[in-house]
Amino acid sequence: MRRYRALLYAVPIICALLACTCKGQKLLPISTPSPYYLLPPPSLVPPTPLPDAVVSRLEAEDELLANIYQRASPAVVYIEAMARDGSSEALIGSGSGFVIDAEGHIVTNAHVIEQADSLEVSFADGTVVAAEVLGKDPYSDLAVLRVEVAGAQLWPLELGDSDTLRVGQRVIAIGNPFGLEGTMTVGIISALGRSLPSQVLESAGYFSNPDIIQTDAAINPGNSGGPLLDLHGRVVGVNTAIRSTTGVNAGVGFAVPVNTLKRIVPHLIKEGTYHYPYLGITSDTRFTVAELAEPLGLPVTYGVLVTSVQPGTGAARAGLRGGDHEVEVKGMAVRAGGDLIIAINGYRLRSFDDLVAYLVRETEVGQEVTLTIIRNGELMDVPVVLGER
């Protein structure tokens, strides 16, 4: 009872103290926070519009791309490849192509028309005609078709110059990915001078197509054979392949440079084939000469190390020598002791790809070239007459 009495005496005293402390102050009512959905909305300030100069510049870029598409798409065709199956025909593949002149010549990839017994070409205006194969080159993956179409329906594309291309330059691809006709994608040139294995397997290994253009413009199955264009609407390449683990675009596409087209297509139109010069050597491309220089005791860190020489070729007749013993490099056997080619006609060679590119670009069958080689530490020039691949 004493405890309760003390409490009763204490309460008035506490209240009196509080009254003194809070005298002259306004007490605020105690309330619980409102739920978030009852709170007033935040004050939103819309962003300031972009300056007219910026918008105008972007609109000009859009207009440029739209103009290129309007000018180029009538020249891009959809190609269907059919194979005979008894009395009927079955579709075995499709791709793209483009008109290059007023005579009805169409360029596409050789792999698009491979194994085809007949071809149908569809134009942007809906015209569908049969096509004849004039020639194909599996090494460059190029082929030429011809169609019988009135000249007024043909809109040839202008050919550019792939030697002037630069990494970072914007490019446009037009084709028929997955059969979706007239599709346009935009990107940049990601790299130049790539080497891409051809579809051809030889006794000495695969032939690699040199000077390939790499682009991040979306290229998918069905784009093969379509044009890669610059911002002037000129053809700078022929879209040919993608590198992907899924079978669809992964940002790495490849195109045959238009200067390769300029060199090979006239021969395909005239005689149906192209004659490649052939040196007759093999080289181990698993390693660069820089990687082999120390373990093999090579005097320089560039060039082409000859591992073998094919009998009956220009290289064999000129006396070039391949490797005569094996050395283990990074756990792999490398053929050593062969000639080291460091230049051709005075053009310094960094790698085997450089040699192939020079032979394809600058030489022809029957031409004599001068190889600068290092043999047993001695520098010498060796003349070689090129044969035919």
Give the residue numbers annotated as catalytic, written as ranges. Answer: 111, 141, 224
Collapsed DSSP state (helix, strand, coil) of residue 135: strand
The pair of structure tokens assigned to 323 is 């490797």
The pair of structure tokens assigned to 61 is 């870029």
Residue the block writes with tokens 């005097």: 299
Rounded to 10 degrees, what is the CA torsion of 294, 296, 299, 300? -70
Whole-angstrom Cα distance, residue 328 to residue 335? 9
One-letter amino acid for residue 59 of the chain: E
> Minimal CA–CA distance to 140: which of 194, 225, 237, 208?
208
Residues in the chain: 389
Rounded to 10 degrees, what is the CA torsion of 347, 349, 350, 355? 120
Which DSSP string do the residues of 46-61 spell out, in sequence order?
Answer: PPPPPPHHHHHHHHHH
One-letter amino acid for residue 274 of the chain: Y
Collapsed DSSP state (helix, strand, coil) of residue 86: coil
> Minimal CA–CA distance to 182: which of 120, 226, 128?
226
Find residue 174's DSSP bridge partners: 184
CB 349 within 8 A of CB 359: no
Whole-angstrom Cα distance, residue 338 to residue 322? 4
Other beta carbons less than 10 A from residue 99's beta carbon: 25
Helices (H), the chain: 2-21, 52-72, 110-113, 258-271, 289-296, 314-317, 352-362
CB 292 within 8 A of CB 305: yes
